[in-house]
Structure 1
Amino acid sequence: METQGNTSGSASGNRVLPSIVYKLMIVAATVIWGLSFVVMKDAVDVLPPSYLIGVRFLSCGLILAVIFFKKLRAHFDRGHIVNGCFLGLLIYLAFWIQTIGLTDTTPGKNAFLTATYCVLVPFIWWFIARKRPTVYNIAAAVLCIAGVGLVSLQGSFSMRFGDYMTLLCALVFAVHIVYVAKLSEGRDILVLTVWQFLFGGVCGMVVGACFEAFPPVEVLLDPAFLFNMAYLVIFASCVALVFQNVALAHVPPAQGSLFLSLESVFGVLFSVALYGEELTFKLVAGFCLIFVAILVSEMFPLKGKKQLAEEPAGEAPPIEELRDYEAREFGDGGVRAAARAEE
């Protein structure tokens, strides 16, 4: 399978891995975030939302700045700084708006409405990158949303202020996913990620200082809170969000958003394992729909690609047609595959 995505790997001198590796990175991130639902619930009871995001992102940014200091120094330029800060603003706004929405809706509806970014991403990618979504993108997104609905929703579905804020949050998350793929072209995604965390953390601290009360220091020194923050900073941010950004630089955004929707599945599974939530038929049906959505996204476009590539020599499509198909389905990674086919 050809590596999908943009040229950021080669442009920055990083090794480009097989596509399956980047998809597994997204899955690993969703497992970590699934457990973070449990952790975040306790942490936000101690530290207000903006301060929580600020401390989490700023701590993560400083840790990554030390780890990737050589990369930061090598790419200390306006393009990386400005674009990284723009990504930081988007990710801060997404988390902040999601937290506001959660104050006026149920956790299940919050998770479901946030996951609607699966439907939004292909169309935002079309608008920004001029790459039209395929019928498989749209079908997979609809199946995914249906699955997340079965997993997340309980009872009635009347809309409240918190629900509308969560929909806005889903839009911002979708824009962030698309711009990670777009802005990583020709740039080092790890450097962009460091600047994203640093600027997102500063935004959280500034908003928190203006509108929130900082808790007493002795409360912050509680071992349980420190453990929760360590998990959020090291695993849910340093590891999971780095995995997400690196993977989205090499996986088409529409496909990446479907893999990210697994977060809701793992969130429920951890709830079943740790809090005794009942594993119902509805939950299992939702899991199956999400799995089918990912299979549709993975298998059907690849089948079309294989059919084009394996036609008899006398009836083979012109190389420009193959290149156009690759670009439409798989982005710049597909263009590189078509170029290799031409050779």
Structure 2
Amino acid sequence: MKKSTFADLSLLIVAFIWGTTFVLVQNAISTMEPFAFNSFRFFIAFVILFLSLLLFQRKQLQFLSKRIVISGFLLGFWLFLGYATQTLGLLYTTSSKAGFITGLSVVLVPFFSFLLLKQKPSFPAVIGVSIATVGLFLLTMTDIAALNIGDFFVLICAFGFAMHIIFTGKYSEQFPTLLLTTIQILTVSILSMISSFIFEDFNEMLKLSIISSQSVIIALIVTSVFATALAFFAQTSFQKYTTPTRVALIFAMEPVFAAIAGYYWANERLSISAIMGCLFIFLGMVFAELPVERFSRFRNKMASKEAN
């Protein structure tokens, strides 16, 4: 199996994990403040990654430098912005809608990738993004009359995640994966804790009744281990074998998984429009995976016919 194909499949699994944890996070933040929840979630993930670094990849510590710390902090900042606004948004909107709007990053990534990194997306990728955008429109617009402040927060989240994808592609080729991931996850934990002290009642979250809540414990275990430590290590590891635009298209499947999880676990409705949107997103992802050579040969044939 090609490295690019294996990378795409691995990132699709990451999208599945993220999509299916929306409901868990929403249940948890109904008990614990969102910034406090993220500070715990990412700190637990940091401990897991740091111990893995010491036990299995200690040699990577020799690459610790100002450059990698700054790069890891930048990744962590965009990740913090994404998760902070997404978690805040979940206080006011449904898990399905949050997943849908988060997926709008698929539109932002090609634009910022070209603007910041001068990476021009391929023709199949452009078509795939267009198809996926139609799908996201169908999904998001099903509840247009019910748009609220939570949807605005999640839109900021889409911007943060888009920037995180772009810079992960840039830095993953320059630095050791586990060390870079550990730094960015620690950054998110610290920024979340600072935000919790400023904007939330931090003493409230230290109550045993909150920390020992079943919904909080389950959400922290699942999200810190699978949706944070393993997921971001996988993203940082495999994104170097693909392009930011393809990663964004793969991650556009996250709202599809979120919608399915919301339907089965939270009794959230799925309209015909939402189902069609899911199909369009899937088709957009598949379309973008088609070889560029096929489109070149097709356009050459069409040009030849027109010339004759």
TM-score by length of 2: 0.86
CA distance in 2, matches of 1:189, 1:150: 37
Pick the aligned partner of 2:71 from 43, 65, 83: 83
CA distance in 1, matches of 2:109, 2:95: 22
CA distance in 2, matches of 1:156, 1:246: 37
Is the 1:151–1:268 Cα contact (8 Å) retained in structure 2?
no
Q: Which stretch has the larger CA shift, 270-279 or 79-88?
A: 270-279
Query: How far did 1:148 drift?
Result: 2.8
CA distance in 2, matches of 1:102, 1:221: 21
Q: What SS class does the counterpart of residue 175 from structure 2 fall into?
A: coil
Query: How far did 1:34 drift?
Result: 2.0
Aligned equivalent of 1:282: 273
Work out whether 1:204 is the aligned partner of 2:189: no
Work out whether 1:54 is the aligned partner of 2:45: no
Report percent identity of matched pairs: 25
Listed one character per residue, the Cα deviations across residues 265-318 of structure 1 (whole Å, up to 9, x for unaligned) are: 11122233334555554343222211210122110425357x59xxxxxxxxxx
Pick the aligned partner of 1:182 from 167, 170, 176: 170
Work out the number of aligned pairs and report it: 292
Pick the aligned partner of 2:248 from 257, 270, 284: 257
Aligned equivalent of 1:168: 156
CA distance in 2, matches of 1:137, 1:44: 36
Q: Give the structure with the larger helix fraction.
A: 2
Gap runs ≥5 in structure 1: 3-17, 309-343
Work out whether 1:294 is the aligned partner of 2:285: yes
Is the 1:97–1:165 Cα contact (8 Å) retained in structure 2?
yes
Check 1:250–1:106 CA distance in 2 against 1; reply closer, same or farther (3 A cut).
same
Is the 1:83–1:183 Cα contact (8 Å) retained in structure 2?
yes
Work out whether 1:41 is the aligned partner of 2:8: no
- Superposed CA RMSD: 2.4
CA distance in 1, matches of 2:193, 2:269: 39
Gap runs ≥5 in structure 2: 299-308
Is the 1:120–1:174 Cα contact (8 Å) retained in structure 2?
yes
CA distance in 1, matches of 2:196, 2:221: 20
TM-score by length of 1: 0.78
Is the 2:124–2:290 Cα contact (8 Å) retained in structure 1?
no
Query: How far did 1:115 drift?
Result: 1.3
CA distance in 1, matches of 2:165, 2:267: 33
Check 1:155–1:270 CA distance in 2 against 1; reply closer, same or farther (3 A cut).
closer
Q: Which stretch has the larger CA shift, 199-208 or 144-153?
A: 144-153
Check 1:275–1:166 CA distance in 2 against 1; reply closer, same or farther (3 A cut).
closer
Aligned equivalent of 2:258: 267
Q: What SS class does the counterpart of residue 30 from structure 2 fall into?
A: coil
Query: How far did 1:176 drift?
Result: 0.8
Matched letter for residue 290 of structure 1: I
Pick the aligned partner of 2:105 from 90, 93, 117: 117
CA distance in 2, matches of 1:140, 1:103: 32
Q: Which stretch has the larger CA shift, 188-197 or 244-253?
A: 244-253
CA distance in 2, matches of 1:218, 1:110: 28
CA distance in 1, matches of 2:59, 2:24: 32
